[in-house]
Amino acid sequence: TLPALKNPDLLVEACLIGGEWSVSGSGRIDVTNPATGAVIARVPSAGAEETKRAIAAAHAAYPAWRAKTANERAVLLRRLAAVITENQEDLAQILTAEQGKSLAESRGEVGMSAAYVLWFAEEARRVYGETVPSPWADRKILVTKEPVGVVAAITPWNFPSSMIARKLAPALAAGCPIVIKPASQTPLSGLAWGKLCQMAGIPDGLVSILTGPARAIGGELTGNPLVKKVTFTGSTEVGKVLLQQAAGTVKKVSMELGGNAPFIVFDDADLDRAVAGAMLAKFRNSGQTCICTNRFLVQDGIYDAFAERMAEAANRLKVGDGTQNGVAQGPLIDMAAVEKTEEHIRDAVAKGGRVIAGGHRHTLGGQFFEPTVLVNATPAMNVAREETFGPLAPLFRFRDEAEAIRMANDTEYGLACYFYTRDLGQAFRVSEALEYGMVGVNEGIITTEVAPFGGVKESGLGREGGRLGIDDYLEVKYICLGGL
């Protein structure tokens, strides 16, 4: 059950479709608290019909919204950021109740949501075009940027608030309406965005939020010709399906997909700093983020010391219900996540790995798992190729820089990577050699609204946040002005 909220209106069990709260659809979806297994809410199971209505409402609201000045849109977005901040505690409680992460992490995530909205309120006013020196004496060349049109967003359960912020804020800032489908495990944080937008005075129809079966809603979002852009955060597998579906009407796409993040520790690294960064880069959200370290690559000379310190630190992490004081590790999202973590450990141990911390389901039972550190990891293990998305830190060994780079890049993914060194030359060489969209040098947490977040290779297309984040919601128009 949920703690008493200061503003109980933020907990909604209805979809927002074109400014109306609706329970239409076929039945309801139970929302469970992963820490207790208790059902905390029931949300609608909307389908293609409801999605069509939301898209039509977005299309109808679009002309008036794009005609507003950038400043008018910025004023509303700033108000939205303020409303989020005012309700941060309630939103964090809802987030922990449906997702499981610690309250401290939930407060941080809601803070990031407000930060993204504020950032894009500012960027709304900086959508510059350009004039180009003309090759013709009697013509001018202008390049302008326009909103792409109706946006569809599909978001995951691991950051149920901030993944919406990264899409909703630039879309609205650019002048686009947006239809959002949050993950079915964590719909409440998504639906709360509807209330927040209403409280901020965002006009009806610009933001619709639909909960329900992914295939039905996703099929309509990617197939409907009124939708001009699909933005998705989730697995590479589902991203590929959405890319194929969006191809039918040649929609613009942004894809934030899976990762297989390496975390390299060179011999001369600052050990204290590396261990602190490693713990954050691995165990935040119990290992369930797309930029969480999946593979630790540790140089021979520092391997044993690093392993010992990691085991100590993992054993110190308090596991439990995220609402309790001092808890650092909440439950995993579902039993499938527990089983996958277990399977990666079993496979690694069968191939010569040795567990030096954790390794099992937690004695609390349910979806709780022990923070785990494993040594003697090798490329033959499943964990070398697949994202665990759980609290397992496997330590691979390497001899020199060239081998570390080869191992780090030996994956089809290219989202985030991290490395620790005190050698400035190495810092530059390795940063450039790593085939990743984001590199943390001597830092384990690098996400910020002011920098471009995104991946290369099969980790995605496009960037979210930073100065480039709004471009994904804009089209370029070239105007040739002749007869001058």
By DSSP bridging, strand 140-147 and strand 474-481 are: antiparallel
Give me the residue whose beta carbon is nearest to ligand ADP. Answer: 218
User: What would the two tokens of residue 129 be?
Assistant: 């075009």
The correct pick among 141, 214, 446, 468 for binding ligand ADP (CB under 6 A) is 214
Nearest CA to 239 out of 226, 219, 266, 258 is that of 258
Q: How far is the CB of 224 from ligand ADP (least distance, A)?
A: 13
The correct pick among 33, 51, 93, 184 for binding ligand ADP (CB under 6 A) is 184
334 binds ligand ADP (CB under 6 A): no
Q: Which residue lies nearer to ligand ADP by CB, 215 or 318?
A: 215
Interatomic CA distance for residues 318 and 329, integer angstroms? 6
Site residues (CB under 6 A) for ligand ADP, limited to 12-41: none
156 binds ligand ADP (CB under 6 A): yes
Side chain identity at 393, as an amino acid letter? A
Residue 140 belongs to what H/E stretch?
Answer: strand 140-147
- The residue to which tokens 């602190």 are assigned: 276
Q: Which residue lies nearer to ligand ADP by CB, 83 or 154?
A: 154
DSSP of 28-44, one letter per residue? EEEEE-TTT--EEEEEE
Q: Which residue lies nearer to ligand ADP by CB, 216 or 313?
A: 216
Side chain identity at 272, as an amino acid letter? D
| Contact present, 379 and 353 (Cβ < 8 Å) | no
154 binds ligand ADP (CB under 6 A): yes
Site residues (CB under 6 A) for ligand ADP, limited to 231-260: 234-235, 238, 241-242
Strands (E), 182-288: 207-209, 227-233, 252-256, 261-265
Stretch that binds ligand ADP, among 67-75, 181-189, 345-353, 452-460 (CB under 6 A): 181-189
Site residues (CB under 6 A) for ligand ADP, limited to 438-457: none
175 binds ligand ADP (CB under 6 A): no
Stretch that binds ligand ADP, among 13-21, 100-108, 213-221, 339-347 (CB under 6 A): 213-221
215 binds ligand ADP (CB under 6 A): yes
Cβ-based neighbours of 238, under 8 Å, separated by 6 or more: 214, 232
Q: How far is the CB of 420 from ligand ADP (least distance, A)?
A: 28
- The residue to which tokens 């998705």 are assigned: 232
Q: Which residue lies nearer to ligand ADP by CB, 218 or 277?
A: 218
As beta bridge partners, residue 32 has 39
CA angle 408, 162, 109 (to 5 degrees): 90
DSSP state at residue 78: H
Q: Which residue lies nearer to ligand ADP by CB, 17 or 216?
A: 216
User: What would the two tokens of residue 40 be?
Assistant: 């905390």
DSSP state at residue 201: T
Stretch that binds ligand ADP, among 124-132, 214-222, 277-285, 313-321 (CB under 6 A): 214-222
| Contact present, 314 and 372 (Cβ < 8 Å) | yes
Q: How far is the CB of 313 from ligand ADP (least distance, A)?
A: 26
Q: How far is the CB of 167 from ligand ADP (least distance, A)?
A: 12
Interatomic CA distance for residues 95 and 92, integer angstroms? 5
353 binds ligand ADP (CB under 6 A): no
218 binds ligand ADP (CB under 6 A): yes
The count of chain residues that interact with ligand ADP, using the rule CB under 6 A, is 15
Per-residue b or e along 203-224, where b marks 16 or more CB atoms closer than 10 Å to that residue's CB: eebbbbbbbbbbebbbbbbbeb
460 binds ligand ADP (CB under 6 A): no
Catalytic residue positions, numbered: 256
Q: Which residue lies nearer to ligand ADP by CB, 98 or 401?
A: 98
Q: Which residue lies nearer to ligand ADP by CB, 152 or 172?
A: 152
- Output the CA torsion sign for 64, 68, 72, 73: positive
Q: Which residue lies nearer to ligand ADP by CB, 242 or 345?
A: 242
127 binds ligand ADP (CB under 6 A): no
318 binds ligand ADP (CB under 6 A): no
287 binds ligand ADP (CB under 6 A): no
Q: How far is the CB of 451 from ligand ADP (least distance, A)?
A: 22
Residue 420 belongs to what H/E stretch?
Answer: strand 416-420
Interatomic CA distance for residues 137 and 219, integer angstroms? 50
Stretch that binds ligand ADP, among 79-87, 179-187, 268-276, 346-354 (CB under 6 A): 179-187
CA angle 422, 423, 428 (to 5 degrees): 115
Positions in the binding site for ligand ADP (CB under 6 A): 154-157, 181, 183-184, 214-215, 218, 234-235, 238, 241-242
